[in-house]
Chains A and B, each alone.
Chain A
Amino acid sequence: MTTTALARKPVRWGRLALHLGCLAALLVMLYPLAWLLATSLKPADEVIASLDLLPRHLEWSNYSTALDGVNDVSIWRLLANSLLIAGGAVLGNVISCSLAAYAFARLRFRFRGPLFAFMIATIMLPHHAVLIPQYIIFNQLGLVNTYWPLILPKFLATEAFFVFLVVQFMRGLPRELEEAARIDGCGPFRSFFLVVLPLTRPALITTAIFTFIWTWNDFFTQLIYLFDPEKFTLTLALRSFVDASSTSAFGPMFAMSVIALLPIVLFFLAFQRFLVEGMASSGLKG
């Protein structure tokens, strides 16, 4: 890290003010999360009547109601559905994006330049431009209201953002290792699996984490493709609360919201370094 001549001067008060400012900003920013936690524990009468953030007495039954689920589907089922989709998406993206990225970063083939440019352009392509025909294709195949439309595209490297991310990372790897492997008799496949892939692990982890969180949070695609309550994800089940927003269901609804956020929070706490750095590095090159 570079420290400038200016930063080295002891400007204690300025520094203190900076910290206070940041903490104040954080308090405002974290308020919605505190509100969510507090409300998930409030009894129905307190939700409207009381303006306090903290509940006067803790209503744990909100959580047991939430565990019962929505539309007679238990929360475990919803959780399993969400995990299945997110897990499938992670697997698909990691495999397909690393394969495509290796070709773009390291192999020579005809039309590499134009195809790479096309791949970059699809990052900017609005999802809606392909959404309706994709829906029609999956509908024709009888796959609407299954998880295939949510998982299959990830195995075909449709999320160009991650291909790009992995390409950028692979370009930074020293070529000498692959050359050494080639001299030892490795073809492109073996040097991919034995040399490049293990070294690309940080980028693959970033891809996996972001895929998981984005798929978990995704609402639009799930909304379109799934309509059987048995197949709902946590996100979709939460949506059922939106339509019937009677305040008596407020506590359980937010208890369920907390449960739905929990995996993201855990991922965030466990992998924040990868997440923050993955985000930072995505913007720097290119």
Chain B
Amino acid sequence: MTTTTIPGRAKPATAATPKRRPRRERQGAAWVFLSPWVLGAVVLTLLPMAVSLYLSFTDYDLFNPPRWVGLRNYVQMFTEDPRYWRSVVTTLTYVVIAVPLQLALALVVAIALKSMRRGKAFYRSAFYAPSLLGASMSIALVWRAVFNDGGTVDNLFGTGGWVNQPGWALLAVALLTVWQFGAPMVIFLAGLQQIPGELYEAAAVDGAGRWRQFLSVTVPMLSPVLFFNLVLQTIQAFQVFTPAFALSAGKGGPADSTLVYTLYLYDRGFVASHMGYASAMAWVLLIVIGAVTAVLFRTSRSWVFYASEGDR
């Protein structure tokens, strides 16, 4: 999406757009364009967030009016519900396994494809395909069969079906996510292609070997893209649902080993009809994702390098 603006004309035009029309009229038009979004933001985002916060302090089963219980849901969650903690640990484990593996694979393949002259477009599309197909129930069912007793993985490694073993089932779920490394890979590849070749040439002149070039040129130049991928994939990983649901037939088994956070939330809210409890879970998830994102942004200051700051 690079557009070549006419040099010398573009800058002043944006800086001082002639405002001949009265300000108010243009504001009115803006709000007309914005109205669907505003309606959605208020009715389907802000209001639900407030309601969900309120419900988290109540007992609510969808049929009887909500009953205020104060911090009861939160206390129960943190101190009396081992399954809740199980789901927290499961989700964290999943995030820690799936996200780094997926990003590492995406980066390695992107680097391999970068220097390729023939077949790049083909590989790029082929590696990207699982990112689209993998989110489907169809592929989740394939995964379940391949990792089941007597499935391919059992035959290859003789470990028995992973789906039935508490120690392995979550890894099967994580591998389905790792398999979908195409989306971050495409973003990495686009980022790699933006690195000016002169930087590598200059580094080579200075006597830098390939590894040195990777560390001193590629990594810093790619760090904004790496950061973007890391934030996006981490947020998404916290919300994983379909593969865990499909692999365990909706139960989070065996022995709650695939009971990820959202699966337990679904179970509490929509199976057991504890909407208040599920709302409390949702708010904790919101806070945790916000906190994790904030921490990532904070640490990014020390390792993300922006070549052209103040682009806009």
Binding site for B on A (CB under 8 A): 1-7, 15, 18-19, 21-22, 25-26, 29-33, 35-36, 39, 48, 51, 95-96, 99-100, 102-104, 107-110, 112, 115, 118-119, 122, 124-137, 139, 153, 155-158, 163, 168-169, 172-176, 179, 187-189, 192, 213-214, 216-217, 219-220, 223-224, 235, 238-239, 241-243, 245, 250, 253-254, 257-258, 260-261, 264-265, 268, 272, 275-276, 279-285
Contact = CB atoms under 8 A, between A and B. Distances in A.
B48 A137 contact: yes
B97 interface: no
A129 B26 contact: no
Contact of A158 (B45, B242, B285): B45
- Most chain A CB neighbours (cut-off 10 Å) among B40, B138, B186, B270: B138
Interface in B84-120: 109, 112-113, 115-116, 119
Given A130-B52, A220-B242, A125 B286 contact: yes
A22 B123 contact: yes
18 contacts: A5-B201, A15-B116, A96-B36, A126-B282, A132-B48, A137-B48, A139-B62, A158-B40, A168-B1, A172-B1, A174-B5, A174-B10, A219-B242, A238-B137, A243-B250, A257-B137, A272-B128, A283-B190
A125 B238 CA distance: 11
B109 A25 contact: yes
B197 to A, nearest CB: 4
A15 B119 CA distance: 12
B142 interface: yes
Given A128-B282, A158-B44, A6 B204 contact: yes
A3 B197 contact: yes
Interface string B164-191: 0000000000000001000100110111
Contacts of A112: 30
B272 interface: no
Nearest to B293: A124
Contact of B289 (A31, A126, A214): A126
Nearest to B129: A268
Contacts of B245: 219
| Shortest 3 CB-CB contacts between residues of A and residues of B | A156-B40, A133-B48, A2-B197
Given A21-B112, A25-B109, A261-B133, A124 B242 contact: no
A121 to B, nearest CB: 9
Size category of the B interface is 35 or more
Interface in B278-292: 278-279, 281-283, 285-286, 289-290
Given A25-B109, A99-B37, A254-B142, A280 B137 contact: no
Given A103-B33, A107-B29, A187-B29, A283 B191 contact: yes
Contacts of A135: 270
A155 B36 CA distance: 7
- Most chain A CB neighbours (cut-off 10 Å) among B48, B201, B231: B48
B201 A4 contact: yes
B79 interface: no
Contacts of B293: 124
B2 interface: yes
B275 interface: yes
Given A132-B269, A254-B142, A283-B228, A172 B2 contact: yes
A113 B129 CA distance: 37
A36 B142 contact: yes
A35 B146 contact: yes
Contacts of A284: 1, 187, 190-191, 194, 225
Interface in B1-55: 1-3, 5-6, 9-10, 13-14, 17-18, 23, 26-27, 29-37, 39-41, 43-45, 47-49, 51-52, 55
B152 interface: yes
B28 to A, nearest CB: 9
A69 to B, nearest CB: 15
A133 B52 contact: yes
